[in-house]
Amino acid sequence: MSTNGPSYSAAPPEIEHPRTKLVQLLGFLSIPIPLLGPVAWWMGNEELRKRDDDDRAQLVLGRTIGMVMSILLYAGLVLLAGMWAVAKGWILPFSQYRTLVEASLVTIQILVYSFALGIVLSLIVGVARLSDHRWIRGTALVFVEFARGISSIILLFIMAVAIPILLDVPQTSKILLASIALGINMGGYGAEIIRGAILSVPKGQTEASLSLNLTQTQRLRHVVLPQAMTVILPPMGNLTIEILKGTALVSLVGVPDIMQSANNIRQEQLFNQAGTLTILLLNVLVLYFILAQVVNVLFKLWERRVEQSYKGGPTLTPEQLPAHIRSATPGVTG
Amino acid sequence: MSVTDNAAAHAAEDLQIEEYRPHRKWYRRPDIMVPVLVIVLVYALLVGFVESPNFYRTKMEPPGGLVKFDWMWFFHLIPLMLQGLLVTIKGALLGFAVAVVLGLFLALGRRARLPFVSWPTMTVIEFIRSTPVLVQLFFWQAFGRLIPGLDFSPMALLMLGLGVHYATYCSEAYRAGINSVDKGQWEAATALNLGPVTKWTRVVLPQAVPNVLPALGNYLVAAFKDAPLAFIVGVHGVLFFADQVAAETFRVPEPYLIVGVGFLMASLPAAWAVRQLERKIAYERV
Amino acid sequence: MSESETLATSGVSDSAAKKGAAGVRFHGINKAFGTNVVLRDLDLDVAPGERVVIIGPSGSGKTTILRVTMTLERPDSGTVQIGGRHLYHEPHGDKLRPASEKHISEVRSDIGMVFQHFNLFPHMTALENIMLAPMKVHGKGRDEATDTGMELLNKVGLAHAANQTPGQLSGGQKQRVAIARSLACEPRVMLFDEVTSALDPELVGEVLNVLRDIAEEGNTTMLLVTHEMAFAREMADRLLMFDNGQVIESGRPADVLDHPQNERTQAFLGAVKAH
């Protein structure tokens, strides 16, 4: 039988890694030729991931040189791109930046209004979608279908152009009307998020709070929604960014937001015959990107806070318990 | 139990052996494929035959200035509105076709093992996703004018703007679909020693596609909702119709409201169809 | 473990070790996940056609050694040989070099594995699950693959379920299909990773019967991780007790189970029996 298998008595041959030398060579070569740095870095990492033996020193050396050279290369490229941008006039004059930032306050204002309205609508409609009464449920469903089905730009035109004429609303409250349009839009999507989150809370939780004789509102407020929070927040953050993007539409009905002020800057550019529209719009895009990232970070912080509140504080030791509880709880003082 | 005993025990079951008949995949089932084919047909008809009209001119005399809302005129606007709606639908479908293809490349770039490919792709996706499509449309228009000889038609601008914007959404859908394939499935494919092509085409993608389709459908509906926006770059869709009629007749409420109604008539069935697709395509998990 | 010991404890009759089965040799295998070391300098020889059952507490590395053999995890160091061929290395002169994916794939075709959670492809029928690898990897025609597929399904007693998808099968049936799928590649070494652990107790028997049939035919080497002690006693040629990434006891199943020498084995068996 031993003839079938390999000869097991011999010591295993030594294992050799032909790539080690290559990585080191690439690392050293990347000093005169920085383009090779990323290659050495990547290849070294791949090799290091594959193996775990004693002679890693050469590999680590080669990879580290590659890493340093790649970082230098990237820093150089960024510097070059920056200089090129300035030389090409990609950076706008300071006064125009100030105009844009001032206008972004209006955008933020609309975002805050529509967010507030959206959250309230989401909560009400999301809970109403789960109501026991058929009429409440039906009405909520109609609202959700309407808000999600209508295009936000069309809703905006109806709210800010058609409604004022039909109902004699003064034209001055355009910011408010636009916020209502965006808030309705957000409410439709938010209601579905909240409904899903409420449904995701285990049924036992509701049953337990029922057994404690909590009212329906109390159950929602103290048991269900706090637990649903971890499910609600991530999609709600994305939805808020969608609404931020939606605020760009309000310039079309004459609200002086970022886009409107970009139009004004364009007029200025044409008058001065300096600067191009492409660069201006690129800067506007970057501004929106920054705003979106701010919203993103705020929601991430909120998420972290909620998560930490779930971890709970340190467990109390019997000595830390208030005296009246200690005496009333047999065995704790034990 | 010996082999022969086992065989005897299963003799009764031998009688029930059916003829080999492949299990019907989702793409062989008429209840899924008929709607899909209908959609493709409608798509082809729309793209082929819908022309965008240059003017939306009402034949009826608009009511006098003191009337706030005139029902007769409201109904009279329906045929014109439908013309505009068809143009908008066509634009959304064309733009989304770009998005579906471009999104796949973005998803592959995002999954690349080389960080020098995946990081820039990620940044681009994040940038495009979190900036307004309105500004992007204006940007593409300005960009097109910047390069001599590159003259985008309004419809091409809509395709480009909507396509690039929704490609980033599609790429996330693709990524999520691929990630949703259970790790055990990859391991089983390795254990059977399947090659990379077989692994992807026979094991991963068939399971990823059903997960991706509903998400793609939702994004198509979303793209449809952004399509009216393209009137700013001169696409003669629903909002262009409302704008023009309002400017010519000085009657504002009726055209905008009829556009809202018409839009809901199109988007609600579409959203409903996507939900049905979602329900049908889900199959039992092991 | 020395060679003589292997032969002494294996107790495989020559007729059982047919040409098909291949031996497995692990030499100096180390594997850690982060700071958690799961295999420590493991040496192990499995003779062709031998049936080795591995027992041990959870986290002892018994599943990892199977996953290392199936190339689902790469060892940090050490060599694995299947039928005398290195799995992770290619000979280069008198030294070894890390193997190319092609070489690994070639050697890997000798190995089959059955998973705890079946991992059947949910979008294919039972028969299609079995036919996939023969058609796509071994280049067989559809007719031939259908024939062998039906033959294998018949062998595991599931010919009537050929056209059903995994979702329509019970746990025991799924596992039998998974075994048939693995057998379709005609592996020379088969790995069974707690194949009955995810099953309801009344379904365990049908799967063990199939394993007995495979053992009876004897043209594969079998490495089994299991908690079924009675089954291990009945069909193992050798029983290995794993703890802390090493083999702490090895021998005939009756010896190890009835007269464990190592105190950790005693503790483990005591716990299993009490359970």
Of C117, C128, C216, the CB nearest to B23: C128
Distance from CA of A20 to the nearest CA of C (A): 12
User: Are A60 and A110 part of one and the same domain?
Assistant: no
User: Are A98 and A220 part of one and the same domain?
Assistant: yes
Contact assignment for A51 to C98 by CB distance below 8 Å: yes
Contact assignment for A50 to C98 by CB distance below 8 Å: yes
Phi, psi at C40, each rounded to 5°: -120, 105
Dihedral of the alpha carbons of A299, A301, A306, A309, in degrees to the nearest 10: -170
The confidence band for A309, taking pLDDT boundaries of 50, 70 and 90, is low
Q: Over the stretch A216-259, which tens digit does the pLDDT of each residue have?
A: 787 788 778 877 888 899 999 999 999 999 999 999 888 888 98
User: Are A255 and A113 part of one and the same domain?
Assistant: yes
Tokens 């026979």 — which residue? B202
User: What are A229's two structure tokens?
Assistant: 């929070």
The confidence band for B66, taking pLDDT boundaries of 50, 70 and 90, is low
pLDDT at C4: 40
Answer left, alpha or beta for residue C28, where phi above 0 means left and psi between -120 and 50 means alpha: left
Distances C200 to C205, C207, C211, C216 between C-alpha atoms, Å:
10, 11, 17, 25
Phi, psi at C268, each rounded to 5°: -65, -45
User: Are A83 and A98 part of one and the same domain?
Assistant: no
d(CA A285, CA B165): 13
Return the partners of chain C (3 or more C-beta pairs < 8 Å). A, B
Output A114 or A18, whichever has higher pLDDT. Answer: A114
Q: Over the stretch A151-183, which tens digit does the pLDDT of each residue have?
A: 999 999 998 888 888 887 776 688 899 999 999
**C chain contacts of residue B184, beta-carbon cutoff 8 Å:** 115, 117-119
Using DSSP, state whether C89 is helix, strand or coil: strand
Q: Which stretches of chain A sit within 8 Å of chain C by CB? A: 1-2, 4-6, 8-9, 12-18, 50-53
**B chain contacts of residue A285, beta-carbon cutoff 8 Å:** 127, 131, 135-136, 139
Interface test with A, best of B122, B134, B143, B250 (most A CBs within 10 A): B134
- Tell me the HSE value of A124 on the side-chain side, using a 13 A CA sphere: 13
Chain B within 8 Å of C100 (Cβ-Cβ)?
no
Q: Which residues of C10-29 are buried (b: 16+ CB within 10 A; e: fewer)?
A: bebeeebbeebbbbbbbbeb
Distance from CA of B22 to the nearest CA of A (A): 37
pLDDT for A186 beyond 80: yes
- Tally of domains in chain A: 2
How would DSSP label each residue in B46-102? HHHH----S----SSPPPPTT-S--HHHHHHTHHHHHHHHHHHHHHHHHHHHHHHHH
ipTM here: 0.80
Contact assignment for C97 to A15 by CB distance below 8 Å: yes
Distance from CA of C152 to the nearest CA of B (A): 11
pLDDT for A311 beyond 70: no
Tokens 């509102």 — which residue? A217
pLDDT (average), residues A86-114: 86
pLDDT for A319 beyond 60: no
Instruction: Please state, rounded to an integer, the average pLDDT across all residues of chain A.
Output: 81
pLDDT for A23 beyond 60: yes
pLDDT at B55: 72
pLDDT for B8 beyond 70: no
pLDDT for B201 beyond 80: yes
| CATH code reported for the domain at B79-180+210-281 | 1.10.3720.10
pLDDT (average), residues B184-213: 86
pLDDT at A87: 76
**B chain contacts of residue A107, beta-carbon cutoff 8 Å:** none
Closest residue of chain C to B14, computed from CA coordinates:
C159
Q: Over the stretch A122-131, which tens digit does the pLDDT of each residue have?
A: 999 999 998 8
Of B127, B145, B225, the CB nearest to A289: B127
pLDDT for B47 beyond 90: no
Dihedral of the alpha carbons of B135, B222, A183, A141, in degrees to the nearest 10: 170
User: Are A105 and A24 part of one and the same domain?
Assistant: no
Amino acid letter at A20?
T
Contact assignment for A166 to B232 by CB distance below 8 Å: no
Closest residue of chain A to B261, computed from CA coordinates:
A150
pLDDT for C10 beyond 70: no
The confidence band for A1, taking pLDDT boundaries of 50, 70 and 90, is very low
**DSSP classification of residue B201:** I
Contact assignment for C48 to A5 by CB distance below 8 Å: yes
pLDDT for A329 beyond 50: no
Of A158, A166, A247, the CB nearest to B68: A166
Report which of C209, C185, C180 is spatially closest to residue C196, judged by C-alpha positions. C209
**C chain contacts of residue A18, beta-carbon cutoff 8 Å:** 97
**B chain contacts of residue A111, beta-carbon cutoff 8 Å:** none
* Architecture category of domain C3-110+187-274 in CATH: 3-Layer(aba) Sandwich (3.40)
Neighbouring CB atoms inside 10 A of B124's CB total 16
Q: Over the stretch A267-300, which tens digit does the pLDDT of each residue have?
A: 888 888 777 888 889 889 999 999 999 999 999 9
Q: Over the stretch B212-263, which tens digit does the pLDDT of each residue have?
A: 888 888 899 999 999 999 898 888 888 888 888 888 887 888 888 999 999 9
d(CA B205, CA B198): 10
Q: Over the stretch C115-144, which tens digit does the pLDDT of each residue have?
A: 888 888 877 788 888 888 888 888 888 889
Pair C136, B202: CB distance under 8 Å: yes
Strand ranges (DSSP E) for C47-165? 51-55, 77-82, 85-86, 89-92, 95-98, 111-114
Using DSSP, state whether C185 is helix, strand or coil: coil
- Residue ranges of domains in chain B: 79-180+210-281
Pair C185, C138: CB distance under 8 Å: yes
A58-62, B14-18, C153-157, range with greatest mean pLDDT: C153-157
pLDDT (average), residues A311-315: 45
Contact assignment for A53 to C77 by CB distance below 8 Å: yes
**A chain contacts of residue B250, beta-carbon cutoff 8 Å:** none
pLDDT at A241: 95
Chain C within 8 Å of B25 (Cβ-Cβ)?
yes
Contact assignment for A16 to C92 by CB distance below 8 Å: yes
Output A210 or B38, whichever has higher pLDDT. Answer: B38
Of B193, B207, B283, the CB nearest to C105: B193
pLDDT at A3: 39
The confidence band for A140, taking pLDDT boundaries of 50, 70 and 90, is very high
Instruction: Please state, rounded to an integer, the average pLDDT across all residues of chain C.
Output: 85
Closest residue of chain A to B65, computed from CA coordinates:
A165
d(CA A273, CA A261): 18
d(CA C135, CA C116): 25
Distances B264 to A296, B227, B260 between C-alpha atoms, Å:
31, 14, 6
Distances A124 to A215, B201, C238 between C-alpha atoms, Å:
17, 46, 67
Size of interface A-C (CB pairs under 8 A): 63
Calculate what percentage of chain A has a pLDDT beyond 70. 84
Interface test with C, best of A52, A53, A54, A55 (most C CBs within 10 A): A52
d(CA A19, CA A37): 16
pLDDT at A147: 93
pLDDT for A322 beyond 60: no
Residue range(s) defining the domain that contains residue A54:
19-87
Of B20, B198, B285, the CB nearest to C162: B20
Interface test with C, best of B20, B21, B284 (most C CBs within 10 A): B20
Distance from CA of A53 to the nearest CA of B (A): 24
User: What are B178's two structure tokens?
Assistant: 């691929």
Contact assignment for A245 to B226 by CB distance below 8 Å: no
The confidence band for B65, taking pLDDT boundaries of 50, 70 and 90, is low
Pair B177, B208: CB distance under 8 Å: yes
Pair C248, C241: CB distance under 8 Å: yes
Output A146 or B51, whichever has higher pLDDT. Answer: A146
Using DSSP, state whether C187 is helix, strand or coil: coil
> Taking CA A18 as the corner, what is the angle to CA A16 and CA A21, rounded to the nearest 5 degrees?
115
The confidence band for B273, taking pLDDT boundaries of 50, 70 and 90, is confident
* Complete edge-to-edge strand list for the sheet that includes strand C85-86: C36-46, C24-33, C77-82, C85-86
Pair B194, C132: CB distance under 8 Å: yes
pLDDT at C9: 36
Strand ranges (DSSP E) for chain B? none
Q: Which stretches of chain B sit within 8 Å of chain A by CB? A: 68-69, 114-116, 127, 130-136, 138-139, 142-143, 145-146, 224-229, 232, 238-239, 242, 246, 252-253, 256-257, 259-260, 263-264, 267-268, 271
Calculate what percentage of chain B has a pLDDT beyond 90. 25
Domain assignment present for A265:
yes
Pair B206, B255: CB distance under 8 Å: no
d(CA A238, CA A225): 19
Of B18, B188, B198, the CB nearest to C115: B188
Closest residue of chain C to B16, computed from CA coordinates:
C160
Output A87 or C241, whichever has higher pLDDT. Answer: C241
Q: What separation, in Å, do the N-terminal and C-terminal C-alpha atoms of chain A show?
A: 68
Domain assignment present for A183:
yes
Q: Over the stretch C224-266, which tens digit does the pLDDT of each residue have?
A: 998 888 888 888 999 999 998 889 999 999 899 888 888 888 8
User: What are C15's two structure tokens?
Assistant: 């007729």
Interface test with B, best of A104, A153, A163, A252 (most B CBs within 10 A): A153
**B chain contacts of residue A161, beta-carbon cutoff 8 Å:** 246, 252, 256
Q: Over the stretch B154-179, which tens digit does the pLDDT of each residue have?
A: 889 999 999 999 999 999 999 988 88
d(CA B46, CA B48): 5
Chain C within 8 Å of B113 (Cβ-Cβ)?
no
Q: Distance from CA of residue A222 to its chain's centroid?
A: 27
Domain assignment present for A79:
yes
Phi, psi at C238, each rounded to 5°: -150, 140
Output A269 or A320, whichever has higher pLDDT. Answer: A269
- Residue ranges of domains in chain C: 3-110+187-274
d(CA C127, CA C165): 9
Using DSSP, state whether A101 is helix, strand or coil: helix
pLDDT for C78 beyond 50: yes
Closest residue of chain A to C221, computed from CA coordinates:
A5
Phi, psi at A13, each rounded to 5°: -70, 160
Return the partners of chain B (3 or more C-beta pairs < 8 Å). A, C
Q: Over the stretch C176-232, which tens digit does the pLDDT of each residue have?
A: 999 999 999 889 999 999 998 888 888 888 899 999 999 988 889 999 998 888 888
Calculate what percentage of chain A has a pLDDT beyond 90. 30
